[in-house]
Structure 1
Amino acid sequence: MKSTKKQEKNGFGSKLGFVLAASGSAVGLGNIWRFPYLAAKYGGGIFLLVYLILAVTFGFSLMITEIAIGRRTGKSVMQAYTKVDKRFKPLGWLAGAIPVIILPYYCVIGGWVLKYLTAFASGSGHAAAEDGYFANFISGAGATTLFFAIFIALTAIVVIFGVQKGIETVSKVMMPVLLALIIGISIYTLTLPGALDGLVYYVRPSLSEFSIKTVIAAMGQLFYSMSLAMGIMITYGSYMRKEDNIETSVRQIEVFDTIVAFLAGMIIVPAVFVFSGGDRDALNAGPGLMFVTLPNVFDSMAGGQIVGVVFFLLVVLAAMTSSISLMETVVSMIQDRLGWKRLPSCLLVVGVSFLLGMLSIFGYSIWSDFTIFKMQFLDFFDYISNNIMMPIVALMTCILIGYVAKTTYVEDEISKNTVFRAKGMYRIMIRYICPLCMLLILFSSLFLTL
C-alpha cells in the first residue's frame, strides 16, 4: 500500500489539473505588471516578437527539462538533483533556497495588491490615486503586516488541503476566472479614446528599437513569467501522472502564460498611454506602475472604480496562484527531507516566511535607513534570487543535463508515451544556446543596468 506522501507525489488527478496549476504558477505578478513595462521600455512590438521566439525555444527547453526531472525522480527539488547525479547535491540546495527567499517578499507584495483591491472595492479608489498614498501605506508597518498576514494565510489554506483537493481544485476555478477577467478588462480598455494608438505602439515591431538589451530583458522576463529555475516545475513535475504527455503540456502552459502576459499589456500600455498623452516614461515606472500610475489611470476614467476592482482582483488571483506554487515547493522539500506530514510542514513554512517577510516590511518602514548594497531588504531578496541565483541554477541544470547525465535523461522520460517532436531543437538549446543565455543574463545582472 502506498504511503500518503507517495500519493501526494502523484497528486494531480488529470492533465488539465496539472496544466492549470503549472500555468497558475507561471501567471503571476511578473506577467501583470513587469511584462507590460518591459515591453514598453524595450520597443513594444519588437520586445513581444523576441519574447515569443525565446518562449518557444529557450523557455520551452528549460521548462520541459525541469518537469521531466521532477517526474522521473519523483522528488522535491532538493533531492531531485541529487538523484540525477550525487555530485550535484549542492545545486539542489541552491535551487531549494530560491523559493524560501522569494515566498516571503512575494506575499508581502501580494498583501499590497490586496490592500488596493479593498481600497477600490470600498469606494476609496480616489484616495488610492492620491500622491503619497502608496508611500504612506508601505512606510507603516501595521497595515502592511495585516494584509501580508491575510495573503499568506489564504495561500496556506490552499496548500494545507493538498495537491488534488487544494491546488488542483483551486486552479480549476481561479484560472478560468482570471482569464475571463483579463479578457474583459482588456476589451474595455481598448474602447477608451486614444487607446488604439497605445495598442499600435505595443504590438507593432520596429527593428530600430531592437538591441541586445531587448534580448536580455526578454530572457530575464521568462524566468518571472514561466516560474523557471526556482524548483516549482520540478515539484509540480513530481506530481504529474506518468501517462500524461509532457511536451504538449509544456506547450499548453506556454500558450496560457503568454496570452495572459500579452493581454496584461493590452490593459496597461494603452490605458497608461491615454492617461499620459503618449508619454513613454509613464510606462517605465517599475513597481510604481501598478501602485501609483494605474490607480491614477483608473481614477481618471469613466467607471474607473469598477475597473480598478476588477483589475486588482485579477492581480490578487494571479499573485495567489504563484504564491501557492512557491509555498507548495517549500512544503514538498520539508516533507521529502524530514518526512513530516503536510499540516506541520505547512505551518513551519508559514512561520518562517512570516518572520522573513517582516524584514521586507520593516525595510520600508522602521528600518528604512538600513540597506544592503544600497537596497532595501525586499529589493535585495528580489535581486539576489532572480538576478543571481536563478540564472546560476538554470546554467548548472543545463550543464547537468547537457553534459553529465546527457539529454537522453530528459528525452527518455518525455518519450515514454509519445514521440518527442522537438528533440533536435532541445539538444541544441540545452547544450549550447541556453547556457550562453544564462551567461548573458548573469553578466547583465552584475555589470549592466537594464
Structure 2
Amino acid sequence: MSTQEKRGVFSSKLGFVLAAAGSAVGLGNIWRFPYLAAKYGGGAFLLTYIIFVVTLGFTIMMAEIAIGRKTQLSPIFAFKKLNKKYTIIGIVAVAVATIIVGYYNVIGGWVAKYLFTFATGNGAGAATDGFFSGFIGQPFEPLIWQALFIIAILAVVLNGVKKGIERVNKVLMPTLIILSIVIAVYTMTQPGAMEGVKYFLIPDFSKFSVEGVLAALGQVFYSLSLAMGIMITYGSYVKKEEDMEKAVSHIEIFDTGVALLAGLMIIPAVFAFSGGSQTELGQGPGLMFNTLPKVFDSMPMGDLIGALFFLMVLFAALTSAMSLLEVIVASVCDRFKVSRVKACLILGLIVFVIGIPSSLGNGIWSSFTIFGMDFLTFCDFLTNAVLMPLGAIATCLFIGWVIGVKSISDEVKLSSKFRREKLFNVMVKYVAPIAILAVLVSSILSNLGIITL
C-alpha cells in the first residue's frame, strides 16, 4: 500500500481547492480584513493587500503545498525528511496551529452565541452597549459555546480527509459565497452605502502609510493560512497529477473574493447606518461584535440579516478551525501511529483546555496580562507577529539556500508548467525573507510600544 493511500487523498482538484480555500477563508477574511481595511484607508489598503497576495502569498503557499506533496508527510516530518537539521521549522508550524486553534475556538464560540441570539429574535439585545463585554466577561457561558464549537469541528475531522474535510467544505464554501453575495448586495443598496463602497474600492493614495503596508503584509499570512502548517498538511493529501500552480491561483482568487465581499458587507453598512464616522471605522476587532449588531438593528428584517451574517461567519470559522486541528491530528498520527479517532478525541480535549485562559482572560482573569495584553491578545500577537513570520522566513531560506529552489520547481513541474517560476525563485530567495523580516521587527516593536508607526 502506498504512502498516499495510507494517508488518504483529496478526490479531485476541486476538493483540494475548496478545502484549502475553506482553510484560508475564515475569521481572517470576514472579521480581521474589513476592520484593517477600514482603519488603513479602504482602497489604499485593498490595493496593497492584493499586490502582496499575488506575489508573497503565492510564493509561500506554493512552497508549502509543494513540500507537503513532495514528502507526503505532516509539517514536522516533512522538514525532517528533507533535512533533519531543520525539523524545528515544522515544530514551529505545528506550535502555531496549536496556539491559534486554542483561542480561535473561543472566538468561534462567540460567533455561535451571536448566531443564536439573532436567530432567536434577540438581535436588539445584541445591539445594546455592554452586551458583548458582558457576555465574554462571564466565566461559564463562553466556555459552553467554545465546547460546542469544538464538538462541531471534531465531528468533521473525525471522518478524515475525503469523507470529512472535503465533503463538508463542498457544502459550506458555496453556501458561504451565496450568503456573502446576498448580504453584500443588500448592504450596498441601502441609502448612503455607496460612499462606503467608494471608500473601500477606490484607492486614495494620500492614505498610504508604512503602518498600512505592514498591516496588509501581515494580513496575507492570517488570511491565506500561511506558516501554520495547514498548506503543508493539505499538500500531503494532493495527488501527484494535480496542477498545483493552477490550484494555488484558484485559492488566491477564492480567498481574495471572500475578503472583498466581507468588505462590501461591512464597510458600506457602517457608512449607511453610522455615517461612516472614523470612530466606527476605527473600532478594530470590535467592529463585528459591537458595531455590526447596531447596524443590523437599524435595518428592516435586522434579526434575519444578522442571523444570516453570523451563520456565514460561523461557516468560515468552522472551515478554518478544522484545518488547524487537522495539522495537529496529522502530526500526532504520523508521530505516534495512533488512530485518527483517538488523536481527535485527545486533542479536542487539549485544545479546549488551551482555550480556557483566552476565554477567562476577558473576565475573572482579566487582571493577568503579559506585556500589557490579555491572554487571547497575547496569543494572537505571539503567533501572528512573531512565530508565523519567523516560520515563513525560515521556510523561504530553507528552500532558497538549503534544499534549493529546483527541488520545489521539479515537484510543481510533475503535473504542469511552472508559469510563475521566475517570480517564485526571486521571491523565495530574496524579496520574501526581507519583506517578512520588516513585518516581524516592526510588529514586535509596535506591539510592545517601543515605536509608533
Give me the whole-angstrom Cα distance separating, in 2, the residues matched to 1:64 and 1:339: 28
Q: CA deviation at 1:10?
A: 3.9
Q: CA deviation at 1:34?
A: 1.1
Indicate conservation of the 8 Å contact 2:102/2:354, yes or no.
Answer: yes
Amino acid in the other structure paired with 1:211: S
SS in 2 for 1:141: coil
Tell me the SS of whatever aligns to 1:94: helix
What's the counterpart of residue 123 of structure 2? 125
Contact 2:35 2:285 survives alignment (8 Å): no
Residue equivalent to 2:141: 143
Which residue number in structure 1 is paired with residue 58 of structure 2?
Answer: 60
Letter in 2 for 1:165: K
| Cα deviation digits, residues 258-297 of structure 1 (max 9, x gap) | 0000010000000011222121231221221111100011
Say whether 1:241 aligns with 2:239. Answer: yes
Equivalent residue runs for 1:220-235 within 5 Å: 220-235=218-233
Q: Which runs of 5+ in 1 are unaligned?
A: none
Q: Which residue of 1 aligns with 2:94?
A: 96
Which of 295, 298, 301 is 1:297 aligned to? Answer: 295
Q: 1:195 maps to what in 2?
A: 193
Contact 1:10/1:241 (CA < 8 Å) preserved in 2? no
2:398 paired residue among 390, 400, 412: 400
Gaps of 5+ in 2: 447-451
Matched, 1:421 2:419: yes
Tell me how far 1:248 sits from its aligned partner: 0.1
Residues 185 and 311 in structure 1, CA contact (< 8 A), matched pair in contact too: yes
1:29, CA displacement in angstroms? 0.4
Report the equivalent of 1:75: 73
- What is the deviation of 1:48? 1.1
Conserved 8 A contact 1:101-1:385: yes
Task: Say what the alpha-carbon RMSD is for the aligned residues.
Answer: 1.1
The alignment partner of 2:240 has SS state of: coil
Aligned 8 A contact 2:111 2:310 in 1: yes
Q: Write the distance in 1 (CA, Å) between the matches of 2:91 and 2:261.
A: 36
- Cα pair 2:77 2:90 within 8 Å, conserved: yes
- Give runs of aligned pairs for residues 304-323 of structure 1, distance below 5 A: 304-323=302-321
Amino acid at match of 1:144: P
Question: AA paired with 2:435?
Answer: C
1:150-201 CA-to-partner distances (Å, cap 9, x unmatched) read: 0000000000000000000001000000000001110000111000011111
SS at 2:162 equivalent: helix
How far the C-alpha of 1:363 sits from its partner, in A, is 1.2
Residue in structure 2 matching 1:327, options 298, 315, 325: 325
How much has 1:86 moved relative to structure 2? 1.4
- Counterpart of 2:41 in structure 1 is 43
2: CA distance between counterparts of 1:10 and 1:58?
Answer: 30
**Residues 10, 238 of structure 1: 8 Å contact kept:** no
2:375 aligned with 1:377? yes
- Secondary structure of the 2:372 match is coil
CA offsets 1:199-219 (integer angstroms, 9 cap, x no match): 111111111111222221111
Q: What is the percent sequence identity of the aligned residues? A: 51
* Structure 1 counterpart of 2:393, one-letter code: L
Please give the alpha-carbon distance, in whole angstroms, between the structure 2 residues aligned to 1:280 and 1:35: 17
Distance 1:389 1:9 in 2: 28
User: Structure 1: which amino acid aligns with 2:138?
Assistant: G
> For the residues of structure 2 that align with 1:248 and 1:110, how far apart are their CA atoms?
31
Q: Tell me the TM-score normalised to structure 1 length.
A: 0.98
In the alignment, residue 360 of structure 1 is paired with which amino acid? Answer: S
In the alignment, the residues of structure 2 paired with residue 8 and residue 235 of structure 1 have an alpha-carbon distance, to the nearest angstrom, of 14
Q: Provide the secondary structure at the position in 2 that maps to 1:396.
A: helix
The answer to whether the aligner puts 1:357 opposite 2:355 as a matched pair is yes
Contact 1:8 1:163 (C-alpha < 8 Å) held by counterparts: no
**Residue in 2 aligned with 1:250?**
248
